[in-house]
Amino acid sequence: MLQVLNCAIYLFAVGMAVLATGKLLPRKWFPADRFPFKTWRWERGGRIYRKLRLQRWKDRMPDASLRSKNMVRKKTGTHPDTELLQTLVAETCVAEISHWALMVLSLPVLWIHPGTGGRIIMLLCILGNLVFVIIQRYNRPRLLRALKMRSGTRQNIVSCT
């Protein structure tokens, strides 16, 4: 039981550190039109995720922006402006990289709690974060299309500052 508590403390601390780091990183470091954020051909502009019925359940997932006052809110309303769309595109990039980092940083759980229990905890962390990576990869192409329609220029799409 102590190992499970140690895993929980470790994962909470790592989560807070990744969240704080993500808030501090310059958004210009996360170009939506480049690797690893650019949509892969097989993703078909995010449409592949509709097969998972993502649009039905993604809004039921926890949203850290609802609990933190200094995070960008994900709800855009009916007519978001260009600046908000650009901000949201950049935020999807930061969120995606943060969730990938959390997956990698869940590996030390195997040393904290060796055996089946640690493997289960690590697997749950990886799967839980993978869900959020998929949500970002689904939302980003949709935001980019909205931004393109709003701005009418390609230059505004790739600029995530």
pLDDT digits (tens, 9 = 90+) for 58-107: 877 877 666 666 667 666 556 678 888 899 999 999 999 999 999 999 99
pLDDT at 99: 97
Look at residue 71 and tell me if it is in a domain.
no
pTM of the model: 0.81
pLDDT at 161: 38
| Total domain count, the chain | 1
Look at residue 76 and tell me if it is in a domain.
no
pLDDT at 26: 94
pLDDT at 152: 67
Look at residue 20 and tell me if it is in a domain.
yes
CB 13 within 8 A of CB 128: no
- 30 or 56: whose pLDDT is higher? 30
CB atoms within 10 A of CB 105: 18
Look at residue 32 and tell me if it is in a domain.
yes
Task: Calculate Rg over the CA atoms of the chain.
Answer: 17
Band (50; pLDDT cuts 50, 70, 90): confident
User: SS3 of 151, please?
Assistant: helix
pLDDT at 69: 66
pLDDT at 45: 78
pLDDT at 57: 82
pLDDT at 156: 44
Look at residue 142 and tell me if it is in a domain.
yes
Look at residue 101 and tell me if it is in a domain.
yes
Mean pLDDT over the full length of the chain: 85
Look at residue 94 and tell me if it is in a domain.
yes
